Structure 1
């Protein structure tokens, strides 16, 4: 199996694996098929007997909510689609609430306490 989800988490409250696909552009219907395939593999090969079925999320730059809601109803796996914002799209109020980039880099590199 040569394809992998972009991010994989475990949600303790839902007791399941969560696969996240990150997409730079607008939503495409093919993303749901790709994500559905990842969920099938996770449930067949990684999910443990006591865990709930895996959940999938597509994060894309833009989408038409009505179109996504219409298309996603034919999939039987628990999946969702959401959009994200980059710093260019954020209000100054939100940007001011974020920690400075140097602080984040230090945390990721293990230099922050």
Structure 2
């Protein structure tokens, strides 16, 4: 729980720009998830001129098999593990529910 709070307060580890989600980005996220409990990713404004943040988040979650924990502005936090003790907001629950339906 404390690690999650630290991640909320910290700056992002990775940024998604106009090239959106490339294989390099996916591999970077997978490697970061192996070494860190939580990672914070920021979606830059130029990426949002191409698509929506929800689509970007869904694609990352699907390609990395991560769990979504928080969305604030254009930043979001993911982990490779589920932490039931961390309460996630309604928007995160909706996105995770949609992803479950897609992957069935």
TM over 0.5: no
TM-score, structure 1 length as denominator?
Answer: 0.35
TM-score, structure 2 length as denominator?
Answer: 0.37
Q: Larger relative CO (CA 8 A, sep 6+): 1 or 2?
A: 2
